Structures are given as structure tokens and as C-alpha cells.
Amino acid sequence: MTTPYERTRALLYTREFLEELQSIQKWPQLPDTLRRRAKALARHYPEPWHMHKLHEHIPAFYDSPDSISEDS
């Protein structure tokens, strides 16, 4: 079963990944079509402040983004 911590971490790390995919310096071999797709998806993807709101309203389902460590 997925925990609130794991669910929140997955959302935060996916957002980070979508943002990284947009970097030409980090991913020079990535086709522009994929880079544009990542940008379009990231535009509407939840940000940390959204996760705070979700945690406030449904703490059994989402953890606070502040509890997510970088090394997890």
C-alpha cells in the first residue's frame, strides 16, 4: 500500500523530473517534441504549495511536502 509520504514524494519528484527534462544542458539528446511535452505537463502539475493544501484537507492521503527529504 502506498503511504501518504510516498504519494507526496512521487508527485514532488515527478514535477522535478518534468522540469529537468526541459533542460537542454542536462538532456541535450532529448528531442524537442519530448521537451515541449514535459513543459506542457509541468505547467499544470501540482506545485509544493498545492501539496500543502492537499495535506491540510486530506492528511490521510497526502503528507506535507516539508517532510520529504532530498535523499529519499
70 within a domain of the structure (yes/no)? no
14 within a domain of the structure (yes/no)? yes
Residue 20 structural domain: 4-64
Q: Please give the pLDDT value at position 67.
A: 85
72 within a domain of the structure (yes/no)? no
Q: Please give the pLDDT value at position 21.
A: 95
Q: Please give the pLDDT value at position 43.
A: 95
Q: Please give the pLDDT value at position 70.
A: 63
CB 46 within 8 A of CB 11: yes
The tens place of each residue's pLDDT in the chain, 72 residues long, gives: 889 999 999 999 999 999 999 999 999 999 999 999 999 999 999 998 999 999 999 999 999 988 887 654
Q: How many C-beta neighbours within 10 Å does residue 18 have? A: 17
69 within a domain of the structure (yes/no)? no
- The total of structural domains in the chain comes to 1
Q: Please give the pLDDT value at position 1.
A: 81
Nearest to 53 by CA among 62, 42, 44, 45: 62
Task: Collect contacts of 9-14 with beta carbons under 8 A, ≥24 apart.
Answer: 9/63, 9/68, 9/72, 11/45, 11/46, 11/51, 12/48, 12/51, 12/65, 12/68, 14/45
